Amino acid sequence: MRNIDPRLEARLKKLYALAKQGVGGEAINAQKLLEDLLAKHDMTLDMLIDTETKKYYFTYKTEFEKDLLFRIVSNIKEESNFSYLQRKGQRKIGFELTAYEYIEVEIQREAYTESWRKYLEQAQSAFIVANRLTYYSSKNREPKEDKPLTPEEYAEIQRILQMSMGVPNPEFKRNLLEG
């Protein structure tokens, strides 16, 4: 690709990704904006999309994050057989990707990680609700001013209650001697 401002290049590639994988009006607007910017800078889509690959490295903290990375890369590359590099003892993994694929991995990784974090928070709340593990303190006993729930808050409470119905009951094993 010819020399262009790296920020412009990144913006164009993000718009391309959104136009390709967005939904409804989002994809249409991204496509229109992409075409306008390409025309403004006297570029074509072929100039933007390069097939040159290089090794991009991603760090992870948990085995779930590592597995998520593999799944995302597999979906983006649309194959399950791809090369990667991981050094023993490091929580960093490298994939051979194009610039477009790298941006797409970052976008999806951020979205899925945030979705997973929210799901875990809701699962924790559902576990507490299902097992009636309320926490009482002097702060909790003070009367609070009731305010109406927003539709989003109500929907989240409904999801948590629905999840709580699927939480298995714990089995308490008390090692008391029968006498």
- The pLDDT value recorded for residue 64 is 94
Domain count along the chain: 2
Is residue 167 scored above 80 in pLDDT? yes
Count of beta carbons in the 10 Å neighbourhood of residue 97: 19
- The pLDDT value recorded for residue 162 is 92
pLDDT digits (tens, 9 = 90+) for 13-26: 888 888 888 888 88
Q: Is residue 147 part of a domain?
A: yes
pLDDT digits (tens, 9 = 90+) for 124-152: 999 998 988 877 766 656 666 778 989 99
Is residue 3 scored above 70 in pLDDT? no
Q: Is residue 107 part of a domain?
A: no
- The pLDDT value recorded for residue 135 is 72
Is residue 2 scored above 60 in pLDDT? no
pTM, full prediction: 0.61
Min mean pLDDT across 45-49, 79-83, 140-144, 162-166 is at 140-144
Q: Is residue 74 part of a domain?
A: no
Rounded to an integer, the average pLDDT of 112-117 is 95
- Helix/strand/coil (H, E, C) string of the chain? CCCCCHHHHHHHHHHHHHHHHCCCHHHHHHHHHHHHHHHHCCCCHHHHCCCCEEEEEEECCCHHHHHHHHHHHHHHHCCCCCCEEECCCCCEEEEEEEHHHHHHHHHHHHHHHHHHHHHHHHHHHHHHHHCCCCCCCHHHHCCCCCCCCCHHHHHHHHHHHHHHCCCCCCCCCCCCCCC
Band of pLDDT at residue 99, cut at 50, 70 and 90: confident
Domain that holds residue 7: 1-49
- Radius of gyration over every alpha carbon of the chain, rounded to an integer in angstroms: 24
Q: How many residues does the chain have?
A: 179
Q: Is residue 20 part of a domain?
A: yes
- The pLDDT value recorded for residue 78 is 76
Q: Is residue 68 part of a domain?
A: no
Residue where a domain stops, chosen among 31, 49, 67: 49
148-156 contacts, C-beta under 8 A, 24 or more apart? 156/122
Q: Is residue 102 part of a domain?
A: no
- The pLDDT value recorded for residue 1 is 45
Q: Is residue 9 part of a domain?
A: yes
Q: Is residue 91 part of a domain?
A: no
Q: Hey, which of 3-12, 158-167, 168-177 has the most confident mean pLDDT? A: 158-167
